[in-house]
Chain A
Amino acid sequence: IAGITQAPTSQILAAGRRMTLRCTQDMRHNAMYWYRQDLGLGLRLIHYSNTAGTTGKGEVPDGYSVSRANTDDFPLTLASAVPSQTSVYFCASSSTLYNEQFFGPGTRLTVL
């Protein structure tokens, strides 16, 4: 069982470019989340999806968009990357809103 996979593992991106971070889970979890982790700031929620077909904004949604076409996939898109989006991005999922979340291995993104 793979759990949650994320791709790419790392990426260096020029400012202004468009980038999609991929996230796939095989646990049939309803809820999925995108967090960014920054030194000294912990993890902050970018977007979430409680079930396929629905999404919502988290604490820091600006500059990011998501879609949830099916249960397994929850891609995160940066329409026009900026250096402040340099971070480590984690995808997570949970079976319900009340249960623990399981995290992917992360994507380290550098925007120059």
Chain B
Amino acid sequence: AQSVAQPEDQVNVAEGNPLTVKCTYSVSGNPYLFWYVQYPNRGLQFLLKYITGDNLVKGSYGFEAEFNKSQTSFHLKKPSALVSDSALYFCAVRDMSNTGKLIFGQGTTLQVKP
């Protein structure tokens, strides 16, 4: 069965420090991977995706993610965190059936402190 795991419920970092939000996946075949961010009482906003190609993917707001096939991971990173990055982050993988649905992880709350 296809699945996504985000092992940390919450990540705390100081402003200006690098941040990493972890994601591992389990799919058959080549994965289509996505990161989304959700601010309070808002919908999900697309950050970046990996379909194929370069393992380091750059996205919105200075975020990037590294695809690691051997470790089946797709960790979200940012070199220097901002307080405004505090939000709920979701990793997702596209289901390989014809539904096109995304299978989401449980989400990780990122708290950036001044």
Say whether A45 faces chain B, with CB atoms less than 8 Å apart. yes
Residues of chain A lying within 8 A (CB to CB) of residue B28 = none
Within 8 A of A (CB), among B1-52: 32, 34, 36, 41-46, 49, 51
Q: Which of B67-75, B76-84, B95-103 contacts the other chain?
A: B95-103
Return A61 CB to nearest CB of chain B, in Å: 11
B98–A43 contact, CB under 8 A?
Answer: no
Query: How many A residues are at the interface, by size bracket?
Result: 20 to 34
- Give the contacting residue for A104; candidates B43, B99, B107; CB below 8 A: B43
Say whether B94 faces chain A, with CB atoms less than 8 Å apart. yes
A97–B100 contact, CB under 8 A?
Answer: yes
Residues of chain A lying within 8 A (CB to CB) of residue B63 = none
Residues of chain A lying within 8 A (CB to CB) of residue B106 = 40-42
Residues of chain A lying within 8 A (CB to CB) of residue B32 = 98
Q: How long is the Cα–Cα vector from A4 to B44 in the complex, in angstroms?
A: 12
Residues of chain A lying within 8 A (CB to CB) of residue B107 = 42
- Tell me the count of chain B residues lying within 8 A, CB to CB, of chain A: 22
Residues of chain A lying within 8 A (CB to CB) of residue B49 = 100
A102–B46 contact, CB under 8 A?
Answer: yes
B45–A45 contact, CB under 8 A?
Answer: no
20 A–B contacts, CB within 8 A, in A order: A40-B106, A41-B106, A42-B106, A43-B90, A43-B102, A45-B101, A45-B102, A48-B99, A48-B100, A50-B99, A94-B100, A96-B100, A97-B98, A98-B32, A98-B51, A100-B46, A101-B46, A103-B43, A105-B43, A106-B41
Additional pairs, 18, CB under 8 Å, beyond known A56-B99, A58-B99: A33-B100, A45-B102, A48-B99, A48-B100, A50-B98, A50-B99, A50-B100, A58-B101, A90-B43, A90-B44, A97-B98, A97-B100, A98-B51, A101-B102, A102-B46, A103-B45, A104-B43, A106-B43
Q: Which residues of B contact A (CB under 8 A)?
A: 32, 34, 36, 41-46, 49, 51, 90, 94, 98-102, 104-107
